[in-house]
Structure 1
Amino acid sequence: MPDLDTGHIFLTTLAPIKDGTCLDDGYRLSWRQKVRNALVTLPVAQQSPATVNSGLNSPFARNRRTHLARMFVLDDVVYNGREPTNAVAGALKGLATGNDAESNPALPQHTDYLNCAYLVFCADIDAVTETGIALPTTLSKADQERVRRSYAEELWTTMGEELKAIYSACVGFEKVRDAKGFADYLEACHVETTMPFHDYYIGDITGAFHRLPVKALGAAVVVPLIVTVLAFLAALFTQWSLWGINPVWIMLVAGALTGLAFWMAVRFAIRNGEKPLPPGPYDDLPSVLKALYVQQRFSDLAIDLQGAPPEDIHTRFGQWLEVNRPADRSGPTQAPGVIRSPKGAI
């Protein structure tokens, strides 16, 4: 299903950027440059010594639904070169039609381009309307829209000033006044995607995929096809009939059943492929943050207890469990947007 997989919404929006120029702090610059200036000053997550020492963090870290977020300006689509063609077939077609545009590399082919630059926003978020609740296996189109709107409203609440600075150069954003207006705006800019941004499965995921009953589907198509062929041969070379029924009628009915079975098998395969994978056991952001926290705290404990007697290890591990509560996702846990949480007392 587009946008939804493993209990996550893979959000993609394209907001058109205004053409022309504007004044920004007394300088004349394009609207595209204004967006780029806002993006380049946006703090990133604390993922390196330099970003940690800055004391700043990404504004997307102010909520606990965002696994990944990315914003960039798309000036135009990339030209991948001429579409490959068969030289011989193109030459023959040119001779037949008098149009050798396909075979003559000196003549340009049609080239796609955007009518303006776009601000692209991609985010991998928990497909929930409330932080911490269980991830869904599937959602209706309406439920997906509710998740997107809920997330957009939370973004406006937690980082509204940054969003105003970024989107103020986009077409139609001047009408946005509140969280609901921003949710409406992002929904208008939303485009479907079938490309997941992450994979949190921690074991063998082959059992999670929706396997096709290939043998059953094949039999459903092949059996009436065989009857069709046999009835055709009987009608062509013999005077055979089944219970007085002309083999031509059997051929027509079996052929129709073959076509119907093939169409239904294709539809079944497509619908089966559109089903989203179920969420992993620890795919939600609170579980991911808790796992990172427990991993670090347990490593600290193991280092501290090197060479300690068994009695001390038992006592300290009990204290560690009481303080860190591994099964409690609400805390203590790692904060979003940081690569490491501060070392605790245990």
Structure 2
Amino acid sequence: MANTFGQSYGLTTLCPLINGTDGHSAFDKLTRHHIQRLAEDEGSPFTKVPNTYFARLFILNDVFFQQGNSVARDHLKSKYLVFTSNFHGDLDTYLRGMWNNAEADVRAIWQYAVAFDKVQSADDFVAYIKKCQLTTSLFFNGSNDISLAEQLKSLYVKQAFSEFAMAHQGKPAAELRAAFSEFLARVQLDNLSTPSWQPGQTELTSMY
């Protein structure tokens, strides 16, 4: 399938937005404003969704294409909320994870999408997104095809080890061996939960 690469999945959806206003602002503008105000990094709603590698939201107004030596535009009947995500695992499990872990955010983001008012459960959300789904052509898997927890742990160990190496340059062999044993005990290589990077985290608190 074009949507998958190993254990990774590339999701692309176009959800039509209702043509209308709340009396003051068009629904597409309200949706765009909400997206722009979403927290980033560790505050992002997608940090709550298990196994999310990457997620993106934007509004599609029109479609542009090359026509001869000029650029032409197709006027769409609706504006579209575009949602793309790369994640580890299967689609149904991922979408249920979105609903079960970030339902309030999902409802707020999709509230002006056509027919979304009928979505009242995780199963409804899975069915709704699948109706809006496009095939992800030429899907490039930028991950190493392991779970998010494993990737975050690997990033943590990599940076922690770099700090260890910098902090212990030139130490006597016996002192270095003792320090490395302490380092291994602290990073707990077999524990994926802690210590580790957290979803959305951008900086690691220094160990030294």
TM-score in terms of structure 2 length: 0.90
Higher strand share: 2
| 1:63 partner letter | V
- Report the CA distance between 1:115 and its aligned residue: 2.3
Total equivalences in the alignment: 207
Matched position secondary structure for 1:149: helix
Deviation digits for residues 88-120 of structure 1, max 9, x if unmatched?
A: xxxxxxxxxxxxxxxxx9xxxx97443211101
TM-score in terms of structure 1 length: 0.56
Deviation digits for residues 198-249 of structure 1, max 9, x if unmatched?
A: 4235xxxxxxxxxxxxxxxxxxxxxxxxxxxxxxxxxxxxxxxxxxxxxxxx
2:187 pairs with 1:324: yes
Name the structure 1 match of 2:10.
10
- Report the CA distance between 1:163 and its aligned residue: 1.4
Name the structure 2 match of 1:292.
155
RMSD, aligned α-carbons: 2.1
| 1:119 partner letter | L
| 1:71 partner letter | L
Name the structure 2 match of 1:93.
none
Tell me, yes or no, if the aligned pair for 1:12 and 1:122 is still in contact at 8 Å. Answer: yes
Deviation digits for residues 257-309 of structure 1, max 9, x if unmatched?
A: xxxxxxxxxxxxxxxxxxxxxx4xxx332221111100111112112212321
What is the rounded CA distance, in whole Å, between the counterparts of 2:20 and 2:143 in structure 1? 43
Question: Unpaired segments of 5 or more residues in structure 2?
Answer: none
What is the rounded CA distance, in whole Å, between the counterparts of 1:14 and 1:298 in structure 2? 42
Tell me, yes or no, if the aligned pair for 1:10 and 1:195 is still in contact at 8 Å. Answer: no
Matched position secondary structure for 1:313: helix
Select 1:38's aligned residue among 21, 30, 34.
Answer: 34
Matched position secondary structure for 1:153: helix
What is the rounded CA distance, in whole Å, between the counterparts of 1:344 and 1:188 in structure 2? 48
Higher relative contact order (CA 8 A, sep 6+): 2
2:36 pairs with 1:59: no
| 1:14 partner letter | L
Tell which structure's C-alpha radius of gyration is larger: 1
Question: Unpaired segments of 5 or more residues in structure 1?
Answer: 47-56, 85-104, 128-146, 202-278
- Report the CA distance between 1:327 and its aligned residue: 4.2
What is the rounded CA distance, in whole Å, between the counterparts of 2:8 and 2:152 in structure 1? 16
- Report the CA distance between 1:79 and its aligned residue: 2.9
What is the rounded CA distance, in whole Å, between the counterparts of 2:37 and 2:49 in structure 1? 20
After TM superposition, the runs of 4+ consecutive aligned structure 1 residues lying more than 4 A away are 110-113
Name the structure 1 match of 2:65.
79
What is the rounded CA distance, in whole Å, between the counterparts of 1:314 and 1:119 in structure 2? 55
Name the structure 1 match of 2:77.
115
- Report the CA distance between 1:149 and its aligned residue: 2.0
2:169 pairs with 1:306: yes
Query: Percent identity of the aligned residues?
Result: 29
